[in-house]
A = this chain, B = another copy of it.
Amino acid sequence: MKIAILPGDGIGTEIIAEAVKVLKALDLTFEMETAPVGGAAYAAHGHPLPEATLELAKAADAVLFGAVGDFQYDKLERALRPEQAILGLRKELGLFANFRPAICYEELTHASSLKPELVAGLDILIIRELTGDIYFGQPRGRRTAVDGHFPGAEEAFDTMRYSRPEIERIAHVAFQAARKRGRKVLSVDKANVLETFQFWRDVVTEVHQAYPDVQLEHMYVDNAAMQLVKAPKNIDVLVTGNMFGDILSDEAAMLTGSIGMLPSASLNEKNQGLYEPSHGSAPDIAGKGIANPLATILSAAMMLRYSLGQPEAADRIERAVKKVLASGLRTVDIYSEGTKKVGTVEMGDAVVAAL
């Protein structure tokens, strides 16, 4: 079992260190190798995704990823900015299926912006297609407009696209995931406006034929953005394209009030995967030892389950995290009166102790 460890920028190094500590405390042998990515890689090697890092990721069974991005790289040209590393890894490894659970832990319900009764027990699985859509569609660029409202003016453009097999494979992933949960899939599109998403709706409906035991509902993206606020607990599995998934998965994560707790997995067809916390690199608190490592530790659990065939080890980690929460330890992002505030390292140590 070979794991590529890519800490990245900001709090990345700190949170990854705790996840590695937890992995090492299991009775399993892993080969772990660390490489720079994002701004840190640009600073050291002139590129956010150096060739050696990419090769390491490709050769590994799984990638454990911290976070990328820092203020000082904001002014770089797009191709050199830290987030290109994550787009590059998704593309090069073919990580088309992104799993983003939005779970509200009982002890943290009060931290949500939403009224407690709306989020208590919330458990949504968002499945976002991750290698298609307008993220990677060609052509794109700048040119002189030949038609539209202002022919002759300078314009910029991008191409949204989805092919039938791309939609089919992510639909299968969603229906299969739903079978292990509440057997309900909500497919989110904008079929009333976009050709791409009318096609999406058509193909998802076709794939659904093979899953008569799973209930399928279609919803427009604007309505989905509302239903997430109004009645999030009605949603079981939500499947959507790359662009809409970017927006809705972040909205859903924030609804839980504890984005510092949420892991994510991005898988390819061989179950090779990249695992990372749902939150970002938080450069404003980097180096202070206060970041919450639990999303990264829970990402390591997902990695054990999905890419490394170690579901029991995954369960152990998840149980340990629950125990630690129940014992009242909290990093500052999830702290509330009556609980005990701890730093990044103490939190990691507590999970190891609870294993």
Contacts and interface: CB of A to CB of B under 8 A. Distances in A.
Given A251-B226, A255-B229, A159 B157 contact: yes
A347 B148 CA distance: 44
Q: How large is the interface on A (under 10, 10 to 19, 20 to 34, 35 or more residues)?
A: 35 or more
A96 to B, nearest CB: 8
Oligomer: number of copies? 2
A181 interface: no
A312 interface: no
A309 to B, nearest CB: 26
B157 A164 contact: no
Contact of A225 (B113, B136, B160, B250): B250
Interface in A228-261: 228-230, 243-244, 246-251, 253-255, 259
B81 A192 contact: yes
A213 B303 CA distance: 50
A156 interface: yes
A229 B251 contact: yes
Given A115-B115, A156-B161, A163-B148, A246 B222 contact: yes
A198 to B, nearest CB: 7
Contacts of A83: 192-193
Contacts of A140: 194-196
Contacts of A255: 229
Nearest to A224: B247
A153 B161 contact: no
Given A149-B165, A156-B161, A244-B247, 5 more contacts: A114-B114, A140-B196, A150-B166, A157-B196, A247-B247
Can you list the 3 inter-chain pairs with the closest CB atoms, starting with the nearest?
Answer: A156-B199, A155-B163, A157-B161
Contacts of A163: 145, 148-150, 153-155
Given A166-B149, A251-B229, A195 B141 contact: yes
A282 interface: no
A226 B198 contact: no
Contacts of A226: 250-251, 253-254, 259
A46 interface: no
5 contacts: A78-B198, A140-B196, A155-B161, A157-B159, A229-B254
A335 interface: no
A193 to B, nearest CB: 6
Contacts of A190: 243, 246
A34 interface: no
Given A150-B166, A165-B150, A229-B251, A135 B195 contact: no
Contact of A192 (B78, B136, B243, B253): B78
A75 interface: no
Interface in A87-133: 87, 94, 113-115, 118, 131-132
A158 B149 CA distance: 17
Nearest to A149: B166
A270 interface: no
A140 B115 CA distance: 42
A223 interface: yes
A246 B200 CA distance: 19
B157 A137 contact: yes
A180 interface: no
B250 A222 contact: yes
Contacts of A225: 225, 247-248, 250-251, 254
